[in-house]
């Protein structure tokens, strides 16, 4: 597989510290990373947390053009999470920054440490709502549905547009 000019969708989330500032800085970090070119970004959404009791999240999505393989992009995302203080202590626990690789062109990848499309994205309104804002016609390759169709199949009642300056 070639490693140049692939389109990727990334979900961003945070519910610890100054989440808005962290997410803004994470996007800047992505945009300044060699081989990554920011194409589009969604607005931010306040969403209810899944898992243990914890504060609400801020969530959004970005579209990237990347000149790297999916595994390299994943490693880059994990390094950026670490830079922003991400520590994995509790499954679905609170986090300073969460970067999930959702889609990578129309590839389907299933390895022990990487699954693309993200295996739970189709059931998560906090991913689908911002993704539909910037990539409504992207076809999720496992289901064959467009993102704008998938978002209609989930309960979006806990996903609310953040009204802060964007």
- pLDDT, one tens digit per residue, over 116-132 is 999 999 999 999 999 99
- Nearest Cα residue to 59 out of 133, 149, 6: 133
- pLDDT tens figures, 45-93: 999 988 778 899 999 999 999 999 999 999 999 999 999 886 655 555 6
Q: What percent of the chain has pLDDT over 90?
A: 81
Within a domain: 1: no
Domains of the chain: total = 1
pLDDT of 94? 77
Select which of 41, 86, 122, 124 is catalytic: 86
Question: Which positions ≥6 away from 6 have C-beta within 8 Å?
Answer: 65, 66, 67, 68, 104, 105
Structural domain includes residue 104: yes
Which residue of the set 18, 43, 67, 98 is catalytic?
Answer: 98
Can you give the pTM of this predicted structure? Answer: 0.92
How far is the C-alpha of 121 from the C-alpha of 143, rounded, in Å?
A: 11
Q: What is the pLDDT of residues 132-146, one digit of tens each?
A: 999 999 999 999 999
**Enclosing domain of residue 50:** 6-161
Q: Is 5 left (phi over 0), alpha (psi -120 to 50) or beta?
A: left
- For residue 95, the model assigns a pLDDT of 81
- Whether 88 sits among the annotated catalytic residues: the reply is no
Burial bucket for residue 74 (CB in 10 Å: 0-12, 13-18, 19+): buried
Domain membership of residue 74 (yes or no) is yes
Q: Is 86 a catalytic residue?
A: yes
Which one from 41, 95, 122, 124 is the annotated catalytic residue?
95
**CATH number for the domain harbouring residue 10:** 3.30.70.560
For residue 166, being part of any structural domain is answered with no
- Domain contains 89: yes
Known catalytic residue at 120: no
Average pLDDT, the chain: 91
């Amino acid at each position: 597989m070639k490693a140049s000019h692939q389109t990727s969708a990334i979900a961003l989330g945070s519910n610890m510290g100054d989440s808005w500032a962290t997410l803004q800085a994470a996007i800047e970090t992505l945009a300044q990373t060699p081989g990554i070119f920011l194409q589009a970004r969604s607005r931010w959404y306040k969403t209810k947390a899944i898992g243990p009791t914890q504060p609400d999240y801020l969530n959004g999505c970005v579209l990237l053009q990347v000149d790297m393989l999916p595994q390299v992009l994943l490693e880059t995302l994990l390094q950026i999470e670490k830079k922003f203080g991400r520590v994995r202590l509790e499954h679905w626990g609170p986090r300073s920054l969460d970067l999930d690789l959702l889609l990578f062109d129309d590839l389907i990848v299933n390895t022990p440490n990487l699954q693309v499309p993200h295996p739970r994205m189709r059931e998560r309104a906090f991913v689908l709502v911002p993704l539909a804002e910037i990539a409504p016609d992207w076809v999720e390759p496992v289901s064959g549905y467009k993102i704008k169709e998938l978002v209609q199949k989930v309960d979006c009642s806990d996903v609310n547009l953040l009204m802060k300056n964007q």
